[in-house]
Amino acid sequence: MRADWFMDGGMGIWMLLNMAIWIIAFVGIVLLIVWAVRKTSGNGHKKVEETALDILKKRYAIGEITKEEYQKKKKDISS
């Protein structure tokens, strides 16, 4: 083996490998932080669907429908 193999590019391969490892580690840490923030923030991508009864309750609560309409529609939904 030659003594000057470092100067001919042998060292360059190790420098590139070292740099690639650091980049992969950095990206992994950033992704881990993003995942943890989304997990703990509580507003992830969960889609909550309202039921017909939920919508009916809201309509009654804001006064859009009367008590009689609410009870009739609730009975219709439950059937």
pLDDT digit string (tens) for 32-71?
Answer: 999 999 888 766 556 678 899 999 999 999 999 999 999 9
- Whole-Å CA distances, 56 to 48, 49, 68: 16, 14, 12
63 shares a domain with 77: yes
Query: Rounded CA gap, 33 and 41, in Å?
Result: 12
Nearest to 79 by CA among 50, 53, 42, 41: 53
Chain center to CA of 57: 30
Domain count, the chain: 2
5 and 40 part of one domain: yes
At position 34, the amino acid (one-letter code) is V
Is residue 24 scored above 90 in pLDDT?
yes
- Are both 55 and 78 inside the same structural domain? yes
The answer on 28 and 55 residing in a single domain is no
| Structural domain boundaries, residue 53 | 49-79
